[in-house]
């Protein structure tokens, strides 16, 4: 969840310039990281409450077809991941802290408006709020740390908090929607975003002062070009990954509702609950995967390739489940759980690593824009996820998931072709 999330406060004329603000101390960085983790966990609870219910809300309460609902889902997800490109540019000029503050407040308003049926306006405010919030909060954390190891660790903890917030969202949202209606679920999302806004604004701007040694040294024109090309190679990979990953809120939710036995160990379950599986797996797997990377010194370029191969495997599991469902009508929930396990492993190979690499490779004057470009690539993947979802009722489900597997395999092939160049540009880790 993917993390399910960088910009600079002021544009500088040269990368070698440093901030005159006091150097953050380890204690202050710890407090700032804690506040950021709680803030993003609250915000993610709100967002994934919406994600878990959105398609069902449109089909059951707004009378839309599955094709219409999945298209709206793609538009919503695409917009929320595209606008950080603009939000990063705004923060490069006006500062990260204030952008995060405004973003959290707009998100609360967006969820509240959804309860009144203002779908287009809600999605518009949601998109603007996410644009200001997502990448800039990530930046606020990453900029506190002077070395790559520290940034990787801090961003992994932030990504863990993202999934901690997302974990109960599907269950809580599904329960509220069933017993009190969709409006109650969306109001709970608005409430937690207001809490996130209150916490962030109480932290104070000075707590997130950038560490002066996090800025990149002046690069030669050729070196800067190589770094930019590397980022641009990774962008379509991110796009293709999230094309498959974000089937969790559309086709996989529909598969759970229509073709899955909604019972596990004799306990009745609901289709939206599967949204919490990914978050729970990421929380549990993050320390194990991190230890694996450290033990075997796996290059970041290899992590990406492994992630895309795992993504393809996850789609093939769903294709097999669809084949069984075509015969039996409904399949065991273990098929979905297996697919979620594999795609969660893939997510840990792609999402947090991407944030860290953009932070490392981007020239400082372009940091906000390039982190926004990373989110824009995710946005295109989300939009494509919604658009291909229109074929859910046209193609056989087996073919649908085979196509998704093919896109992930294509991304893995692209990375394989560029592997040598990637390792050269990325160079040794900065410990």
Task: For residue 122, give the nearest of 112, 135, 136, 133 by alpha carbon.
Answer: 112
Q: Alpha carbon of 234 to those of 74, 168, 277, 336, 351: distances in Å? A: 22, 31, 27, 28, 11
pLDDT band at 308 (very low <50, low <70, confident <90, very high): very high
Segment 85-106 shows an average pLDDT of 89
Determine the Cα–Cα distance for residues 102 and 132; give it in Å rounded to an integer. Answer: 7
pLDDT band at 64 (very low <50, low <70, confident <90, very high): confident
Q: What is the pLDDT of residue 377?
A: 86
Q: What is the pLDDT of residue 170?
A: 80
Determine the Cα–Cα distance for residues 215 and 411; give it in Å rounded to an integer. Answer: 31
Segment 54-62 shows an average pLDDT of 86
Q: What is the pLDDT of residue 299?
A: 80
Q: What is the pLDDT of residue 99?
A: 93
pLDDT band at 25 (very low <50, low <70, confident <90, very high): low
Token representation of residue 6: 């960088």
Angle formed by the axes of helices 26-60 and 275-296, nearest 10°: 140
More confident residue, 197 or 218: 197
Report whether 33 contacts 157 (CB < 8 A).
yes
Whether pLDDT at 185 is above 90:
yes
Whether pLDDT at 37 is above 90:
yes
Determine the Cα–Cα distance for residues 258 and 404; give it in Å rounded to an integer. Answer: 20
Determine the Cα–Cα distance for residues 80 and 382; give it in Å rounded to an integer. Answer: 9
Work out the number of other CB atoms within 10 angstroms of the CB of residue 290: 16
Task: Determine the Cα angle at 189 with ends 186 and 194, to 5°.
Answer: 130
Q: Alpha carbon of 130 to those of 7, 133, 362, 386, 427: distances in Å? A: 14, 5, 22, 18, 33
Q: What is the pLDDT of residue 22?
A: 54
First to last CA, the chain: 27
Determine the Cα–Cα distance for residues 409 and 340; give it in Å rounded to an integer. Answer: 18
Report whether 379 contacts 82 (CB < 8 A).
yes
Whether pLDDT at 63 is above 90:
no
**What ranges in 297-332 are assigned the alpha helix state H?**
300-328
Determine the Cα–Cα distance for residues 431 and 146; give it in Å rounded to an integer. Answer: 10
Report whether 4 contacts 351 (CB < 8 A).
yes
Task: For residue 215, give the nearest of 148, 143, 155, 151 by alpha carbon.
Answer: 143
**What ranges in 246-299 are assigned the alpha helix state H?**
251-259, 275-296
pLDDT band at 429 (very low <50, low <70, confident <90, very high): low
Segment 18-24 shows an average pLDDT of 49
Whether pLDDT at 395 is above 90:
yes
pLDDT band at 18 (very low <50, low <70, confident <90, very high): very low
Work out the number of other CB atoms within 10 angstroms of the CB of residue 431: 7
Q: What is the pLDDT of residue 125?
A: 94
pLDDT band at 109 (very low <50, low <70, confident <90, very high): very high
Specify the CATH number for 26-203+221-426; select among 1.10.150.570, 2.60.40.1080, 1.20.1250.20, 3.40.1210.10.
1.20.1250.20
Q: How far is CA 342 from the centre of its chain?
A: 17
Read off the pLDDT of residues 354-371 as tens digits, 9 standing for 90 and up.
887 887 788 777 777 787
Lowest mean per-residue pLDDT among 180-189, 205-214, 270-279, 379-388: 205-214
Which pTM was predicted? Answer: 0.73
Read off the pLDDT of residues 70-90 as tens digits, 9 standing for 90 and up.
788 878 877 887 888 888 888
Whether pLDDT at 7 is above 60:
no
Q: What is the pLDDT of residue 387?
A: 81
Read off the pLDDT of residues 205-252 as tens digits, 9 standing for 90 and up.
778 776 655 444 556 777 788 888 888 888 999 999 999 998 887 889
Say what percent of the chain tops pLDDT 70. 89
Read off the pLDDT of residues 262-275 as tens digits, 9 standing for 90 and up.
999 989 988 878 87
Report whether 141 contacts 38 (CB < 8 A).
no
């Amino acid at each position: 969840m993917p993390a399910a999330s960088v910009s600079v406060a002021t544009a500088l004329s040269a990368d070698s310039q440093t901030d005159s603000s006091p150097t953050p101390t380890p204690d202050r960085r710890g407090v700032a990281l804690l506040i950021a983790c709680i803030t993003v966990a609250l915000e993610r609870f709100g967002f994934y409450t919406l994600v878990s219910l959105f398609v069902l809300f449109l089909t059951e309460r707004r009378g839309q077809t599955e094709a219409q609902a999945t298209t709206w889902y793609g538009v919503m997800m695409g917009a929320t991941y595209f606008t950080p490109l603009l939000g990063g540019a705004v923060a490069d000029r006006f500062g990260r802290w204030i952008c995060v503050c405004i973003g959290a407040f707009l998100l609360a308003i967006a969820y509240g408006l959804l309860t009144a049926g203002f779908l287009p306006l809600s999605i518009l405010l949601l998109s603007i709020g996410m644009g200001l919030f997502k990448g800039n909060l990530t930046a606020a954390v990453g900029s506190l740390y002077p070395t790559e190891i520290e940034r990787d660790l801090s961003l992994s903890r932030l990504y863990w908090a993202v999934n901690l917030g997302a974990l109960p969202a599907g269950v809580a949202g599904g329960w509220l929607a069933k017993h009190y209606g969709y409006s109650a679920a969306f109001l709970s999302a608005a409430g937690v975003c207001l809490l996130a806004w209150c916490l962030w604004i109480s932290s104070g701007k000075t707590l997130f002062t950038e560490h002066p040694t996090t800025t990149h040294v002046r690069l030669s024109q050729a070196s800067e070009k190589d770094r930019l090309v590397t980022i641009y190679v990774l962008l379509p990979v991110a796009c293709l990954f999230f094309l498959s990953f974000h089937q969790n809120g559309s086709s996989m939710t529909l598969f759970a509702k229509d073709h899955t036995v909604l019972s596990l160990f004799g306990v009745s379950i609901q289709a939206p609950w599967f949204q919490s599986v990914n978050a729970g797996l990421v929380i549990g797997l993050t320390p194990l995967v991190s230890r694996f990377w450290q033990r075997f010194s796996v290059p970041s370029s290899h992590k990406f390739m492994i992630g895309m191969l795992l993504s393809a495997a996850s789609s093939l599991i769903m294709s097999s489940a669809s084949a069984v469902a075509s015969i039996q009508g409904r399949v065991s929930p273990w098929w979905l759980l297996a697919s979620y396990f594999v795609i969660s492993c893939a997510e840990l190979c792609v999402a947090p690593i991407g944030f860290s690499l953009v932070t490392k490779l981007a020239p400082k004057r372009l940091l906000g824009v390039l982190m926004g470009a990373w989110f824009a690539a995710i946005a295109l993947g989300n939009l494509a996820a919604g658009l291909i979802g229109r074929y859910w009722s046209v193609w056989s489900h087996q073919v649908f998931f085979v196509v998704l597997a093919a896109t992930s395999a294509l991304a893995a092939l692209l990375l394989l072709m560029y592997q040598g160049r990637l390792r050269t540009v990325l160079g040794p880790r900065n410990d």
